[in-house]
Amino acid sequence: MKSVVITGVAGLLGSRLAKWIVENKPEYKVIGIDNLSGGYEEHIDSRVIFYKADLASDDLNGIFSSHQVEYVYHFSAYAAEGLSPFIRRYNYTNNVVATANVINACITHDVKRIVFTSSMAVYGEGKPPFNENDLPKPVDPYGIAKYACEMDVQVAGEQHGLDWCIIRPHNVYGCNQNIWDRYRNVLGIWIYQKLNGQPITIYGDGSQKRSFSYIDDCLLPLWNAAEAPQASKQIINLGSKKEYSILSAAGILQEIVGGSEIRFLDKRHEVHVAYSTHEKSEILLGYKDITELPKGLATMWEWAQKQPKRNQFVWPKYELEKGLYQFWK
Ligand SMILES: NC(=O)c1ccc[n+]([C@@H]2O[C@H](COP(=O)([O-])OP(=O)(O)OC[C@H]3O[C@@H](n4cnc5c(N)ncnc54)[C@H](O)[C@@H]3O)[C@@H](O)[C@H]2O)c1
DSSP one-letter code for 203: E
Q: Which atom of ligand 1 is nearest to the CA of 10?
A: 39
Residue 4 exposed, middle or buried by CB count within 10 Å (0-12, 13-18, 19+): buried
Return d(Cα 88, Cα 230) in angstroms, integer. 36
Pocket lining: 262 vs ligand 1, CB cutoff 6 Å: no
Phi-psi category of residue 231: left, alpha or beta, with phi > 0 → left and psi -120 to 50 → alpha:
alpha
What does the radius of gyration of the chain's CA atoms come to, in whole angstroms?
19
pLDDT score recorded for residue 223: 98
CA distance 172 to 188: 11
- CA 195–ligand 1 middle distance (angstroms): 23
Residue 314: what pLDDT? 95
Give the pLDDT confidence of 121-166 residue by residue, as tens digits.
999 998 999 999 999 999 999 999 999 999 999 999 999 999 999 9
- Starting at the edge strand found earlier in the chain, the sheet holding 243-245 runs 243-245, 209-211, 273-274
106 φ/ψ angles, rounded to the nearest 5 degrees: -65, -40
What pLDDT sits at residue 313? Answer: 96
Yes or no: say if 29 and 3 are a contact pair by the CB < 8 Å rule.
yes
Ligand 1 center from residue 259 Cα (angstroms):
30
Domains belonging to the chain, first-starting first, are 2-172+214-238 (3.40.50.720), 177-210+241-274+291-316 (3.90.25.10)
* pLDDT tens track, the chain, 329 positions: 999 999 999 999 999 999 999 999 999 999 999 999 999 999 999 999 999 999 999 999 999 999 999 999 999 999 999 999 999 999 999 999 999 999 999 999 999 999 999 999 999 998 999 999 999 999 999 999 999 999 999 999 999 999 999 999 999 999 999 999 999 999 999 999 999 999 999 999 999 999 999 999 999 999 999 999 999 999 999 999 999 999 999 999 999 999 999 999 999 999 999 999 999 999 999 999 999 999 999 999 999 999 999 999 999 999 999 999 999 99
Cis peptide before 128 (omega within 30 of 0): no
Q: 95 CB less than 6 Å from ligand 1?
A: no
- Please give the Cα distance from 179 to 200 (Å, whole number): 13
Give the contacts of 108 (CB within 8 A, at least 6 positions apart). 61, 64
CA of 23 to the centre of ligand 1 (A): 22
Is residue 17 a contact partner of residue 175, using CB atoms and an 8 Å limit? Answer: no
How buried is 49 (Cβ within 10 angstroms: 0-12 exposed, 13-18 middle, 19+ buried)?
Answer: middle
Looking at the chain, the number of H-run helices and the number of E-run strands are 10, 14
Quick check: CB of 98 below 6 Å from ligand 1? yes
Cβ 54 under 6 angstroms from ligand 1: yes
